[in-house]
Copies of this chain bind each other. A is one copy, B any other.
Amino acid sequence: MGAKWRLVLGDVMKKIGIADTMFARADMGSLAEKTIKENHDGIKVIRYTVPGIKDLPLASKKLFDSGCDLVIALGMPGGKEIDKMCAHEASTGLINAQLQGGKHIVEVFVHESETENDLELAAIMKGRTVRHSLNAIDLLFHPENLTKRAGTGQRQGGKNAEALTL
C-alpha cells in the first residue's frame, strides 16, 4: 500500500531537472538541488551531468522527456573567444529545446571572464545559482511573484540595477 501511495504521490509531484557539466569549475548542480529542496517541499529533482555546455540542450530535452516540468541548465563557459561561441550555440539550443518542449529551461551561465579572480568567480556562481533556483520555484508555483518584480532591474549573482519610472 505504501509503495502504491508513493507512486501516486510521485505522479502529482512537480519534477525539476538539473542539467550541469563536468567542465564547470564548481558544482553548481548540487547547489541548485540543495536550494530547491531547502525552499520548497515535495519537488522531485533529477540530475543529469554532461561533458560541456553544448551538451545541455539535449540533456534538457531528455529531462523533459523524463517528465520534468522545468529544467535548470547550469554551466561555466571558459574565457577564450571560442568558448564565447560555444556559449552562444548552447544558449541558442536551449531556447530551441524550450520551444520544442513547451517548458522553461532556466539558464544559469557564469562566464569565466566575468571576473578577474577565482574568489569572485565562485561568489557569482553561488549567487546566480541560488537566485535562479528560487526563480525556477516561482516560475512553477508562484508566477505572480515574478510579475510583482517586473521591470525592477533584478540581477542574478550581483547587485540589482537602479529602477526607473516611465
- Residue positions of A touching B, CB distance < 8 A: 20-31, 47-51, 54-55, 57-58, 61-62, 65, 82, 84-100, 102-107, 111, 118, 121-122, 125-126, 129, 132, 135, 139, 143, 146-147, 149-156, 161-166
Sampled A-B contacts (27; CB under 8 Å): A22-B146, A22-B151, A23-B154, A24-B151, A25-B153, A26-B151, A26-B163, A26-B166, A29-B151, A47-B147, A47-B150, A49-B147, A49-B150, A50-B139, A54-B91, A54-B107, A58-B105, A85-B87, A85-B88, A89-B92, A89-B95, A93-B96, A93-B98, A96-B96, A97-B99, A118-B162, A129-B166
* Chain A binding surface SS class: helix
